[in-house]
Amino acid sequence: MSAYKKLNKQDAFITTYVAHKSWAITGSQFSSYNITYNRNVSGISQNSLQQLYYPTKVSGSVTSSAFDYYPQTTLYQSQSRELTTGAFLLSIPRNLYGTAIKPETFIFTLIQGLYEIFQPVQLGYIAEGYLQTFDSTGRRPPRDINPSPTVSNFIVDDGEGQLYISGSSPRSYVGDIIYPHGMAIITDTAIASYAADTLKFFSSKAVLGFKSSQPIFTHNYHCKARESEFNFTYNPSALSSSLKTVYDNIDEVYSTGSNVSTGELNSNITGSEFQPYITTVGLYNDANQLIAVGKVNRPVPKSANTEMTIIVKIDI
């Protein structure tokens, strides 16, 4: 059995917090996660990116009135961005990144060099910090290059919307990242080509890592009980019972085998020191329909001297 009390408006409110989930996805898994990439951004895609993230330069300044611009930060001048032909676009779907990619968590790992040639195609790899290319016959450039370069091939974000090569000093910036849209744009044409070749020929070696941001809405309910309230137990086992006598239609005894409650408390809980214990809190709507049940980890004795508040939180 239960006791009911209507909550006041100020006792029910909603708070939010942002949860972050880590992702690590290889290039061979991109299609299953609906992650898309475009090696040579042009046409409609280039126009869309130009309007959203790379406004037109006019005499060294930016015309921002005609564009929906997302600068990401006020630390850098917006005109420092420039969308080059042949840029590499990596698009992460919203169901993965939530409301935004968490700054300083993006990392795009490429293989340690595209030096394995299986057929005469145009490939490239990074050596000594520069992208080198093979010609159509599959030959290396005419200079001595380590066939197994060990440079760090991590593209990371700086927390302010820019991408750079990890370990480079000074930082070698190669593109931009739009956190609330899940867009990573490599504008350095050499690195863009390198990233595209990695995904094309060695997709299982490329790894995309980031943390998503997902707001969690917490419904808070403060259930207050005054010292004078709920001081009696409503547990059916606390009520005394007696044998029930059932009569038939001619007033003769039919049965005396079942126990029924008399409505009186058992003698062991009628003392002045006895206090009931709270074990469960149920939340009802205005139609008296049960919508949520909260259980305490252990029974809580109801205080007869001070007001108690039981806080129920529901994450949705």
Q: Domain extents for the chain?
A: 16-217
**For residues 109-127, average pLDDT:** 44
Angle, vertex CA 74, rays to CA 71 and CA 77, nearest 5? 75
Residue 38 amino acid letter: N
Residue 255 has what pLDDT?
Answer: 53
Residue 194 has what pLDDT?
Answer: 85
DSSP classification of residue 192: H
Q: Is the pLDDT of residue 56 over 90?
A: no
Strands (E), the chain: 12-26, 36-38, 57-58, 61-62, 88-91, 100-101, 107-109, 124-127, 130-133, 154-157, 162-165, 172-178, 183-186, 207-225, 239-247, 253-265, 277-284, 290-301, 308-315
Strands (E), 166-276: 172-178, 183-186, 207-225, 239-247, 253-265
44 Cβ partners below 8 Å, 6+ apart? none
- 257: tokens are 């085998």
Residue 126 — pLDDT band, cuts 50, 70, 90?
very low
Residue 189 has what pLDDT?
Answer: 86
Q: What is the mean pLDDT of the chain?
A: 75
Centre a 10 Å sphere on the Cβ of residue 186 and count the other Cβ atoms it contains. 28
Closest CA to 92 of 149, 175, 35: 35
Give the CA radius of gyration of the chain.
34
Q: Is the pLDDT of residue 45 over 50?
A: yes
CA distances from 316 to 15, 30, 165, 229 (A): 11, 29, 39, 31
Cβ–Cβ < 8 Å for 216, 19: yes
Residue 132 bridge partners (DSSP):
125
Closest CA to 18 of 267, 195, 302, 218: 218
**For residues 183-203, average pLDDT:** 87
Report the DSSP pairing between strands 207-225 and 308-315. Answer: antiparallel
pLDDT digits (tens, 9 = 90+) for 236-256: 677 666 555 556 666 655 555
DSSP classification of residue 47: H
The residue written with tokens 């290059």 in the block is 145
Q: Is the pLDDT of residue 94 over 90?
A: yes
pLDDT digits (tens, 9 = 90+) for 307-316: 999 999 998 7
What is the biggest distance separating any 2 CA atoms in the chain, rounded to whole angstroms? 118
280 Cβ partners below 8 Å, 6+ apart? 293, 294, 295, 296
DSSP-derived secondary structure for 246-292: EE-TTS-EEEEEEEEEEEEEPGGG-STT---EEEEEEEE-TT--EEE
Q: Is the pLDDT of residue 183 over 80?
A: yes
Residues in the chain: 316
CA distances from 119 to 123, 134, 146, 204, 240 (A): 10, 11, 20, 19, 90
Q: Which of 16-25, 212-221, 282-291 has the lowest mean pLDDT?
A: 282-291
Which residue would you say has higher pLDDT here, 65 or 240? 240
